């Protein structure tokens, strides 16, 4: 008999939850994005190192639940090595698809990581623009 995923979580979600990749904070990060989950109030932070417009290092920290941890772990894997423009195209839906689905009630948690990544990229670009001005 095929093993059923528990309470609607795929095996992939469980794997990323139990073994999250890229946890922590990039030292002297080039960009940091922080977002709050409007539903539960939990926070997600994504920090990035950028070299020649490529994300060479990315880490996350969250107070969020298992779904937030799993999606953030997934997002960091998707984004590492991508150009900033490619990383901006990582959508909430891509992440959910990549994780092979999440229970609908947890979709708001899975939005945090992609949103925080986009903010980190914005933060990097704003800092770059400021440096260029001076």
The footprint of ligand FES (CB under 6 A) covers: 37, 40, 42, 64-65, 67-68, 109
Nearer to ligand FES, 55 or 69 (CB): 69
Q: How far is the CB of 9 from ligand FES (least distance, A)?
A: 13
Nearer to ligand FES, 47 or 71 (CB): 71
Nearer to ligand FES, 82 or 108 (CB): 108
Compute the distance between CA of residue 73 and CA of residue 21 in angstroms, rounded to an integer: 5
**Catalytic residue list contains 65:** no
Nearer to ligand FES, 22 or 37 (CB): 37
Compute the distance between CA of residue 90 and CA of residue 99 in angstroms, rounded to an integer: 13
Q: How far is the CB of 89 from ligand FES (least distance, A)?
A: 23
Q: How far is the CB of 45 from ligand FES (least distance, A)?
A: 13
Residue from 50, 78, 79, 109 carrying the catalytic annotation = 109
φ, ψ for residue 47, nearest 5 deg? -120, 145
Please work out, in degrees rounded to the nearest 5, the angle formed at the alpha carbon of residue 116 by the alpha carbons of 57 and 25.
40
Compute the distance between CA of residue 130 and CA of residue 134 in angstroms, rounded to an integer: 7
Q: How far is the CB of 60 from ligand FES (least distance, A)?
A: 12
**Catalytic residue list contains 40:** yes
Residue from 23, 32, 34, 40 carrying the catalytic annotation = 40
| CB environment 4-30: b (16+ within 10 A), e (fewer) | eeeeebeeebebbbeebbbeeebeebb
In residues, how long is the chain? Answer: 134
Query: Could you list the active site residues?
Result: 40, 109
């Amino acid at each position: 008999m095929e093993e059923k995923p528990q309470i609607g979580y795929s095996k992939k979600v469980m794997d990323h939850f139990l073994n999250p990749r890229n946890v922590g904070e990039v030292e002297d990060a080039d960009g940091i994005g922080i977002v709050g989950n409007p539903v539960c109030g939990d926070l997600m932070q994504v920090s990035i190192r950028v070299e020649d417009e490529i994300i060479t290092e990315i880490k996350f920290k969250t107070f969020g639940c298992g779904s937030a941890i799993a999606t953030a772990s997934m997002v960091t894997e998707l984004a590492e090595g991508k150009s900033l423009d490619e990383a901006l195209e990582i959508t909430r839906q891509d992440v959910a698809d990549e994780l092979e689905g999440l229970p609908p009630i947890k979709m708001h948690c899975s939005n945090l990581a992609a949103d925080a990544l986009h903010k980190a990229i914005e933060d990097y670009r704003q800092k770059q623009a400021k440096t260029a001005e001076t």
